[in-house]
Amino acid sequence: MLVLSCATPAYPTFSHTLSRPKCTAIRSSFSYVNPFVPEVAKAAESLCSEFRAVDNLVACNSSRVLKAFQNARVGSHHFAGCTGYGHDEAGGREALDQAFAEIVGAESAIVRSQFFSGTHAITCALFAFLRPGDELLAVAGAPYDTLEEVIGKRDSHGVGSLKDFGVMYRELPLAGDGGLDWDALTSALKPHTKCALIQRSCGYSWRRSLSVKEIGRTIQIIKMQNPNCLVMVDNCYGEFVESIEPPMVGADLIAGSLIKNPGGTIAPCGGYVAGSKRWVDAAAARLSAPGLGIDCGSTPGDIMRAFFQGLFLAPQMVGEAIKGTFLVAEVMASKGYRVQPLPRVPRNDTVQAVQLGSRELLLAFCEAVQRSSPVGSFTKPVAGITPGYASEVIFADGTFIDGSTSELSCDGPLREPYAVFCQGGTHWTQWGLVLGDVLKSL
């Protein structure tokens, strides 16, 4: 008999009445040629206990998703598309929003194909909160590059950043250990601080990603200073990495992308905002227009089915991505490279950073990943200027969904310390195969 416990926010642990079998990650009773290079085979063999803990996490999160689908009475009629204004939609929007809200512990949610990126969803959430004269406070250091023009930290040329609308911005630097500066946070709010922005993942910073427990502690400190200060969490890369989500510890809104974790590698587009109903409605008005609400907008073709199916599969896909981060960290650290997070420590997102130290090595790493991808393996990624990014960036993303980072991919800005950020993968063995080519190239 297998007994699962979902009570803890990190990885739950197995307990059962039978003795555990020996790890079969590499060994098998069947005869075959081991596809992994020795360094990868050794690392995979050593990670059996970590992989088992991830499987238990997947079971807990899958259970929560299944219950939410059942409570929303999801049926095949919800998969039908709609056209035009979307008024003849068959209830799929409502069922998907209800299930998603329950999964993340929110009062309400809006999950739509019309969000064309995580940055777009986060922008709608920020504009829902902030008005001229308000201050936005980033409490986890500098935000991700693509938010800099949204905020007005980098010149948006008058096209409508928060700064253009009279919203002020301030950020708290990280502490020396790469975590939040708890001492500074206790007195950080000013009378006009309307919203605190928490970025859960590391972005392109060399820092630890935040656990939901740390996010909860942050929210508590913020609300003690001003209960009316709203908290927005950039939840990208964090969904299903733990057994709880930020709304369960007090976040007013969270936002993210469906071509990351919650799309389960299947969603072809889209994003979400979830949290308090009042503020979800306000974000929806920013997505569409005041007065239109959330009951409009067409979703043609088979997209609704992909959203439901992707969300159902998301815990499993995230689990495989987490295993991939363990493997990348283990292998690259064994070769002397600095990694963040460190090998074998609990994960708070699906991103594994590796500090390569030079432009040449960063390019070589990404080229190796592209060669080992199922789509576009014959192409060579080229660094360049990408809309929303301050520096040259190189992307290796031979993915079925363009730009999907729930599928195996990596990228990095061409600037010091020349770190590559690895994420995604439908199975950890995919990273095992890719690492063989990477090691030959470095």
pLDDT digits (tens, 9 = 90+) for 201-247: 998 999 999 999 999 999 999 999 999 999 999 999 999 999 999 99
Name the maximum alpha-carbon separation found in the chain: 69
Confidence of residue 150 (pLDDT cuts 50, 70, 90): very high
Mean pLDDT score of the chain, rounded to an integer? 92
Pairing of strands 230-234, 253-257: parallel
Residue 195 has pLDDT above 50, yes or no: yes
Does an H or E element contain 435, and which? helix 428-441
Q: How confident is the model over 64-91, as pLDDT tens digits? A: 999 999 999 999 999 998 889 888 777 8
Q: How confident is the model over 314-357, as pLDDT tens digits? A: 999 999 999 999 999 999 999 999 999 999 999 999 999 999 99
Tell me the sheet residues that pair with 136.
Answer: 169, 195
Q: State how far the Cα of 151 lies from the Cα of 131, in Å rounded to an integer.
A: 13
Q: Which two tokens stand for residue 140?
A: 């986890």
Confidence of residue 2 (pLDDT cuts 50, 70, 90): very low
Find the mean pLDDT for residues 184-194: 97
SS3 309: helix
- Quickly count: other Cβ atoms within 10 Å of residue 355's Cβ: 18
Residue 22 has pLDDT above 80, yes or no: no
pLDDT more than 70, % of the chain: 93
Confidence of residue 157 (pLDDT cuts 50, 70, 90): confident
Q: Are 321 and 425 in contact (CB under 8 A)?
A: yes
SS3 393: strand
E-state strands within 48-174: 108-112, 135-138, 168-171
Find the mean pLDDT for residues 10-27: 48
Residue 3 has pLDDT above 60, yes or no: no
Q: Which two tokens stand for residue 10?
A: 């990190």
The pLDDT of residue 70: 98
Total-model pTM: 0.92
Q: How confident is the model over 273-310, as pLDDT tens digits? A: 999 999 999 999 999 999 987 888 888 889 999 999 99
Q: Are 152 and 161 in contact (CB under 8 A)?
A: yes
Residue 9 has pLDDT above 80, yes or no: no
The pLDDT of residue 88: 77
The pLDDT of residue 348: 97
**DSSP assignment letter at 240:** T
Does an H or E element contain 122, and which? helix 118-129
Q: State how far the Cα of 410 lies from the Cα of 430, in Å rounded to an integer.
A: 13
**DSSP assignment letter at 440:** H
Q: Which two tokens stand for residue 268?
A: 């072809």
Residue 15 has pLDDT above 70, yes or no: no
Q: Which of 23-37, 134-148, 330-344, 420-434 has the lowest mean pLDDT?
A: 23-37
Q: Which of 188, 185, 191, 193 shows the shortest CA–CA distance to 169?
A: 193
| Interaxial angle between packed helices 428-441 and 359-371, expressed in degrees from 0 to 180 and rounded to the nearest 10 | 130
The pLDDT of residue 370: 97
